[in-house]
């Protein structure tokens, strides 16, 4: 059984054991770059996950308003499973108060952060 991790515990993890990455802001809803931008997210996830031993932590970030949290999480899961790795998500965070989300522009909810343990 893998113990759960709280955000307070993460603050005490040495940086060398906590790869964090943010995908490129090249995702598009449609058009020629649609799949290319999403593929770049998967490439970064693959690199980060290949560097982490089981039990290690990964922080994956997206700053694209054109990729929903659900779609972003699905890409991370797909990449992990392709590497025969499993993830335990222990937190999903987003923008702070200095990045408000507007009701008439949900794309302003663009900052997404997934906190994961490799199991």
Q: What is the pLDDT of residue 65?
A: 77
pLDDT (average), residues 101-109:
83
User: What is the third-level CATH fold of 17-118?
Assistant: Rossmann fold (3.40.50)
| pLDDT tens for each residue of 53-103 | 899 998 888 887 777 889 889 989 999 999 999 999 999 998 888 888 888
Tell me the pLDDT of the chain averaged across its residues: 75
DSSP letters spanning 6-61: -HHHHTTS-GGG--EEE--TT--SSSTTHHHHHHHHHHHHHHHHHH--TT-EEEEE
Residue of higher predicted confidence among 22 and 119:
119
Residue of higher predicted confidence among 59 and 35:
59
Q: What is the pLDDT of residue 115?
A: 93
Pairing of strands 57-62, 112-118: antiparallel
pLDDT at residue 104 tops 50:
yes
| pLDDT range class, residue 10, cuts 50, 70, 90 | very low
pLDDT (average), residues 32-56:
78
d(CA 85, CA 6): 21
pLDDT at residue 44 tops 80:
yes
């Amino acid at each position: 059984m893998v113990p759960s991790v709280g955000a307070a515990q993460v603050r005490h993890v040495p940086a060398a054991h906590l790869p964090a990455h943010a995908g490129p802001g090249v995702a598009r809803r449609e058009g020629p770059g649609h799949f290319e931008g999403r593929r770049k997210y998967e490439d970064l996830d693959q690199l980060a996950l290949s560097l982490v031993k089981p039990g290690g932590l990964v922080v994956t970030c997206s700053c694209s308003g054109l990729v929903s949290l659900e779609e972003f999480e699905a890409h991370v899961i797909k990449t992990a499973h392709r590497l025969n790795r499993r993830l335990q998500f222990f937190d999903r965070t987003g923008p702070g108060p200095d990045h408000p989300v507007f009701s008439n522009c949900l794309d302003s909810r663009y900052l997404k952060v997934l906190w994961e343990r490799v199991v």
